[in-house]
Structure 1
């Protein structure tokens, strides 16, 4: 244990274990936990699991007992409350008293319950609570997307009257009380970490005091970057890749429409690799739209399915550009840092946390959010301009996991 640190017993809490759930927040939380461990800190990783444990217990362990699965669920998604109150008030509280962490570092409350914050404060009044924000769920009831329900229109702020228009079964008073409740839970947090300035500004406008907010990007493994992909004679840098879930918010339909709109002579120069899954979980209309586009583009697009985090370096070596076509704001997509970590420029929609991370015309390109015509134009620009090497050389390697962990410890030592 590192005796020189003020806080040296850390409990990291995430809404899923990356062995079971491959989301960016889960991976970021786990990477940080492993770095805390490498620094010699006494730390545990608590991750929610939707699977039943053997014997029906609330907790189960893995990896020599340092990683704990919390078998629980949300019962009230509107107020983000746990379905099983005893899991919180009795079992989680008892776990805290036994372990006695000096810090509880939350990375989410989804699938568990935001009242976890109250349980920590009641059980261990002197323990510091650190909270990394990864999305807008507290601000927006529409899956935290800040997109008008049933449309692709963006929301720029949280307003009870407007929220009730998206969910007419709820009143504006319901949304007002929801915000008051969630803010009362968030008031228990000592410091919030945001991986992007955009997300930080959204939560500041929502009501978190500015002095409780700090921006620290998610860390990446140390890398010297990858050399450019070797081209054959006459080949252009036309290998594009998408990484993520295949759902309407991620804009995969926009991406495929853009490739379909390319002139035939351009289609002969490009290829798109889609690394993602869960199309089968989407609505039938969306599934049909994607499948029709894939049939049309069978000579241009390859769908590879899901991937493991450790495969990312190899997959990025095989591409020239990463494309992020999301139609919602995003926060700080881990795939952008991963692309930069391996020297790959990024093309993204021109909004939110995506646009913040990409310098248009310097480390990648922006296109107009939701416009497949704009994206098609940028794809043609990307392969016609001889700027790839410049972009590659302009990329600044992202913060390492080690640097990220040290930045978190510095925050804790000052609260």
Structure 2
């Protein structure tokens, strides 16, 4: 097949960028021709650029023209959009529609339903805009980057394209990463017949680890929705019973650095490369995932399963289904640091059960999250979209 892949990269690299690149490589490795159009938010500099971006978020004629030209020259069988926000805009769907090329859109987050794409506000889950024709609460609360004007631009984009039927008529098939996300998008108005579930995957296979390091590991953005406050508070309760290595950076970096100086066992390693993270995971005893929001499909969990690390995670959103209690990990109550500490203590007191979980997580990876399994799913999705 000839596949045109469109992706808008954020300024802070994340899982969406990794998945988009991984799927491109997966297609090329299996003999398909791939045209790759990627734009970056790094290009948004200065006040005038921000004003222009706000307008283009709603509809970018230049992006439509650019995609139309690529379609005319490359002649793709299908267009796969990973992220159109904010620079590409939904205008790219029109370019594909007018050229008669089917579109698949991966929904990595909740942008089509929520201005900040996370269903998260003031430290907890917020669904105030879910199902609303005009998601006005987001504007009231300045949900996009704490900026009311910017949020208004995002809300205008969502409202306009819902009204003109862009989401319904211009996309042949949507991919959600979990069934939880699929149900949210159906509740938000997308037709269920157009939404299929395909998880993320990991390639190459890093291989099974040993877990001999005897430490707990957190990998992710250091921000409120990731549950860092809960994590630090739990380690205060544990009082040095097990070391905790924290990998990542973000708005709470300073707060975590201060905690690393005061809380027994806490160590901040900062941002590391993928290979460095995988090396740490192979030696970790457990992975801690204390998120407070509806995660998409964290690559960190796929990586943990690949190397055989059980996950102690919040029982919230997709995490409720991704973690299988007593088989691939343990759930705790979201935001409850004492419950998290208790679950860590249970893991430390049950080494035999933890060893069995290590084997089970690897089995889970081999069954669901390899490149081979994902490629077959992707081809079935493309076939369905082109019918």
The bucket for the TM-score relative to the shorter chain is 0.7 to 0.9
CA shift in 2, pair 1:73/1:176, >3 Å: closer
Alignment-derived partner of residue 144 in structure 1 = 117
1:401 corresponds to 2:371: yes
Alignment-derived partner of residue 303 in structure 1 = 268
Alignment-derived partner of residue 314 in structure 1 = 279
Q: Unaligned 5+ residue runs, structure 2?
A: 141-147
CA-to-aligned-CA distance 1:1-39 (integer Å, 9 cap, x gap)? xxxxxxx1001122229xx85311111111111011011
Q: 1:294 aligns with which of 254, 260, 263?
A: 260
How large is the Cα RMSD of the aligned pairs? 3.0
Q: 2:8 aligns with which of 4, 12, 15?
A: 15
Aligned ranges 1:12-411 → 2 under 5 Å: 12-16=5-9, 22-51=13-42, 75-76=53-54, 80-81=57-58, 85-112=60-87, 113-122=89-98, 124-125=99-100, 127-141=101-115, 143-147=116-120, 149-155=121-127, 158-160=130-132, 163-168=135-140, 178-179=158-159, 181-182=161-162, 184-187=165-168, 188-221=170-203, 223=205, 225-230=207-212, 237=214, 239-262=215-238, 264=239, 267=240, 269-278=241-250, 282=251, 289-297=255-263, 299-386=264-351, 387-395=353-361, 396-397=364-365, 398-411=368-381
1:224 Cα deviation (Å)?
7.6
1:133 Cα deviation (Å)?
0.9
Runs of 4+ in 1 over 6 A off after TM superposition: 71-74, 169-172
Q: Is this contact kept in 1: 2:291–2:314, CA < 8 A?
A: yes
Q: Is this contact kept in 2: 1:138–1:182, CA < 8 A?
A: no
SS of the residue corresponding to residue 75 of structure 1 reads helix
Q: Is this contact kept in 2: 1:251–1:326, CA < 8 A?
A: yes
Q: Is this contact kept in 2: 1:358–1:364, CA < 8 A?
A: yes
Q: Is this contact kept in 2: 1:105–1:130, CA < 8 A?
A: yes
CA distance, structure 2, for counterparts of residue 178 and residue 345 of structure 1? 39
Alignment-derived partner of residue 144 in structure 2 = none
CA shift in 2, pair 1:178/1:128, >3 Å: closer
1:384 Cα deviation (Å)?
1.2
- Greater shift in the superposed pair: 90-99 or 324-333: 90-99
CA shift in 2, pair 1:361/1:240, >3 Å: same
CA-to-aligned-CA distance 1:372-392 (integer Å, 9 cap, x gap)? 121111111111123111111
1:229 Cα deviation (Å)?
2.6
TM-score by length of 1: 0.79
Larger helix proportion of the pair: 2
CA shift in 2, pair 1:39/1:166, >3 Å: closer
Q: Unaligned 5+ residue runs, structure 1?
A: 1-7, 54-70, 232-236
CA shift in 2, pair 1:360/1:303, >3 Å: same
Q: Is this contact kept in 2: 1:257–1:293, CA < 8 A?
A: no
CA shift in 2, pair 1:156/1:348, >3 Å: farther
